[in-house]
A and B are shown apart, each in its own frame.
Chain A
Amino acid sequence: MKGSDVVIEHVRKSFGDFKALDDVSVGIRKGEFFSLLGPSGCGKTTLLRIIAGFESPEGGAVLLDGRDVSPLPPDARHVNTVFQNYALFPHLSVFENVAFSLRLKKAPESEIKAKVAEYLQLVELQAHAHKKPSQLSGGQKQRVAIARALINEPSVLLLDEPLSALDAKLRQHMLIELDSIHDKIGITFIYVTHDQQEALSVSDRIAVMNAGEVLQIGTPQEIYESPATDFVAKFIGETNLYEADVASVSGETVDLSVDGFGTVKVTATEPPPVGSRVSWTIRPEKVRIGLEEPKSARNGINAIAGVVDEPIYSGFQSKFYVRTPSGLVLKVIKQHADWSDDGPEIAWKDSVWLSFSAEDAYIVEVKR
């Protein structure tokens, strides 16, 4: 595996009264595609800039392969950045932009030619080498920025919301391309984004951040399936999140009494004691919806009656907001399969039954 591991230890940074990073620690493995995910202002870009060397932390350390690089200026770190707005030098051609760091090192002309050609090929821009940045499309600029950052053969590539300036279709395409570039060169990628879809689809692991803190680090599956906090649950994908009291515990199955609603069975690896106040979640796509009461009310299946408040049809799926008699509203997503599987159509004001397995419902946070 090429690349470096990056360890961030207890890093703190504030701007005036604003705490941008509050004792942040993250370990990033060699060759990993690692995402820093969070809403704007959560500190993810500040953390990236600290790794790059544009900001210095007020406390803590940044270790590259075990060496503390926090006192080093940006040009002395074996780390390169793809900037959010590309930051291409407008006075230089595509070729010269990519050649920039080689020229600084006074590399021989033949080497410059060969390497620039190699990296332009990597991003499929050979034909545009002579153009100025202003003559390129957004996606092309993005690729120049990537080639320019990679030509130095950094051990870590930092990407600061690199796709935010592109339109949705192009974003999808570039994401796949980034992923394949990562596979090809195999160095560590640290990817900053506020878009959970992006993060989920390409990352090996994700750190979810909010208000200067890291809330959870894990694989996309872990983050999505078992969010560590209410914030993570709400930020990643769509979810139903409620509070409840623990009524009884048997093994890993917990009976919760949900306010004005009745009992719901959920799963918890470390069940909290009876009487605790908790938050729990069930993803909308894990809930089945039907006009009839589920037949086999076997153990571990929750069945709830309700009325469709709002059906939202979007082609391959439909989303329903279902109101239970107690007033609780659940989001449900139903994938449209073929006619045999789809069942009768569900419309506005229909009385429906919702069911979900205890194994798909989790306790997120223990409140007290």
Chain B
Amino acid sequence: MSRPATRRRSSFSRSVFVGTIVFLSLPLFVLVLYSFNASKSGSWTGFSLRWYVKLFTDSPQLWRAFGNSAIVALSSALVATVIGTLGAVAVNWYKFRLRAYLRTITFLPMILPEIIIGVSLLIFFSGIGMRLSLFTVFVAHVSFNLPFVFLLVLARLEEFDFSIIEAARDLGASERQTLLKVILPLSMPGIVSGFLTAVTLSLEDFVITFFVTGPGATTLPLYVYSAIRFGVSPVINALSVVMILGTVLLTWSTRNFLKYIAAK
């Protein structure tokens, strides 16, 4: 009942919000605009699709980087999801030594700046004599993805009444059967969103990857970085637009997928 009166009152917050949206979307608008620019220089000279053509036909390095990103994202997300889910199940439903320790070491990576994780891993890898490669990138990505999966699955598990586990045991399910037939299906939405978050985080990551990557293990963000540093080609603009569309599509299908899972 109070809504109509208060809506009028929030005109200050409304203008701040509108300003923020403009501020946030301005760069995207400029990217889209310049991706259709005919000239190579910054200024607008006319409409053209040449950068899209170049992106899809003549950018082998870019696609190699994209392939690396995809490999690292999928593999690290998969491993982080399996490990993190088991950890969340353990913390939520079991008593064991090191429970408090596990909670702490899943929390810490989330509050530390990325550069610390990147630098410490780099020093660690060279300290144990591990050559930097796509594999070290994979290891690093699992490390920062794991806490996110852990927390997302844990949040899902916490919604459930413990009595369902007791019911499963009461009805004769073993520990393993309880895990497979009750706990995992229930936590599926948390697991799926954990996995997808991990994929996204991994595709996004620049700072950590920058430190732990080795020769030939360029990921897409690293490629974009070197493009920015050592001469921008407007292909980047076209790539950005394609990536935005890709993310929109991915997010949209994820939402539907999650809805579908939740409804099951």
Contact = CB atoms under 8 A, between A and B. Distances in A.
A55 interface: yes
Interface string A22-46: 0000000000000000000000011
A261 interface: no
Contacts of A54: 2, 5
Interface residues of A, number: 7
Interface string B176-211: 000000000000000000000000000000000000
Contacts of A15: 1, 4
A46 B3 CA distance: 12
A285 B1 CA distance: 39
A49 B4 contact: no
A55 B4 CA distance: 8
A45 B5 CA distance: 14
Nearest to A56: B5
Contacts of B2: 49, 54-55
B231 to A, nearest CB: 55
A293 B5 CA distance: 63
Nearest to B8: A56
A316 to B, nearest CB: 39
Contacts of B4: 15, 55
A55 B5 CA distance: 6
Nearest to B4: A15
Interface in B1-60: 1-2, 4-5
B154 to A, nearest CB: 25
B11 to A, nearest CB: 15
B5 A46 contact: no
Contacts of A56: 5
Contacts of A55: 1-2, 4-5
12 contacts: A15-B1, A15-B4, A45-B1, A49-B1, A49-B2, A54-B2, A54-B5, A55-B1, A55-B2, A55-B4, A55-B5, A56-B5
Given A15-B1, A55-B5, 11 more contacts: A15-B4, A45-B1, A46-B1, A49-B1, A49-B2, A54-B2, A54-B5, A55-B1, A55-B2, A55-B4, A56-B5
